[in-house]
């Protein structure tokens, strides 16, 4: 019995070490990718550094690496916001500012996809896509995240927007199906609790989806 316990401990330790190595390699890859994305085109001078956004909850290698990936995404988002504000001060038309920042956030989403920092970039992307009126792309991004990362807070935070846009676009059945899929997950998490009221209040999807698409 004692031998089995020691073996289990060794397996857990080895698995933790392996996960730390994998996450470390991922962090190195995304840091290089981040520098490649921002180093050539960024003329923004900010007072921030990566350390300003990295706040690990423990000193374990896995947690530190996770915090670094989250911090890197937050830094990327902060610099994108700064460029957007600088463009405003330079009297660049609002539509052009938004389209350039949306393109930048799309690149960031690709770079941070499936990492702990993905949701930070996606939040700003969804906000600007809504501002631009691009419902088709908004719904694509939201549904992708809802199915891949259903426990993310943004799935619950943007649920009302998702239902409203889907209703206008004649795609309500797609969104309600995705949200019900999240509700069926046998775990408790904040995004799930936020979905219960919007989904219950959603109109009849068959009648709504029969209307022509506005996209």
The model's pLDDT over 137-156, given as tens digits with 9 standing for 90+, comes to 999 999 999 999 999 999 99
| Boundary residue ending a domain (59, 93, 108) | 108
* pLDDT band, residue 27 (cuts 50/70/90): very low
**Where does the pLDDT of residue 7 fall: very low under 50, low under 70, confident under 90, or very high at 90 and above?**
very low
Q: Quick check: 38 pLDDT over 70?
A: no
Domain count, the chain: 2
**Least-confidence region, from 32-41, 61-70, 81-90, 185-194:** 32-41
| pLDDT one-digit tens code per residue, 79-111 | 888 888 877 667 778 888 899 999 999 999 999
pLDDT of residue 119: 94
Question: Does position 113 have pLDDT exceeding 80, yes or no?
Answer: yes
Burial of 189 by CB count in 10 Å (0-12 exposed, 13-18 middle, 19+ buried)? middle
Q: Does residue 211 form part of some domain?
A: yes
The answer to whether residues 78 and 150 belong to one domain is: no
Are 25 and 99 members of one domain?
Answer: yes
Q: Give the span between the Cα atoms of 172 and 152, in whole angstroms.
A: 21
Among residues 78, 75, 35, which one has the least CA distance to residue 51? 75
* Same domain for 140 and 104: no
Instruction: Tell me whether residue 24 is in a domain.
Output: yes
Distance, in Å, from the CA atom of 143 to the CA atom of 20, rounded to the nearest integer, reads: 30
Q: Which domain holds residue 27?
A: 1-108
* Residue 79 and residue 147 in one domain: no
99 and 24 belong to one structural domain: yes
Pick 139 or 25 by higher pLDDT: 139
* One domain for residues 87 and 20: yes
Same domain, 97 and 147: no
Q: Are 104 and 138 in the same domain?
A: no
24 and 96 fall within a common domain: yes
C-alpha–C-alpha distance, residues 138 and 81, integer Å: 19
Mean pLDDT across the chain, nearest whole number? 76
């Amino acid at each position: 019995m004692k031998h089995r316990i020691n073996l289990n401990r060794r397996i857990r330790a080895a698995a933790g070490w392996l996960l730390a190595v994998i996450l470390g390699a991922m962090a190195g890859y995304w840091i290089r990718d981040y520098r490649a994305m921002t180093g050539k085109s960024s003329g923004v001078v900010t007072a921030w550094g990566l350390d300003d956004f990295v706040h690990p909850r423990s000193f374990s290698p896995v947690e530190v690496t996770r915090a670094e990936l989250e911090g890197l995404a937050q830094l990327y988002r902060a610099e994108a916001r700064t460029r957007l504000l600088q463009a405003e001060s330079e009297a660049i038309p609002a539509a052009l500012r938004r389209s350039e920042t949306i393109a930048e956030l799309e690149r960031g989403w690709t770079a941070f996809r499936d990492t702990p920092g993905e949701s930070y970039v996606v939040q700003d992307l969804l906000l600007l896509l809504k501002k631009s009126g691009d419902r088709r792309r908004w719904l694509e991004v939201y549904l992708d995240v809802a199915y891949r990362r259903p426990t993310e807070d943004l799935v619950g935070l943007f649920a009302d927007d998702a239902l409203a846009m889907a209703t206008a676009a004649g795609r309500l059945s797609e969104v309600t199906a995705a949200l019900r899929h999240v509700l069926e997950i046998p775990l408790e998490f904040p995004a799930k609790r936020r979905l219960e009221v919007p989904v219950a209040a959603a109109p009849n999807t068959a009648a709504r989806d029969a209307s022509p698409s506005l996209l």
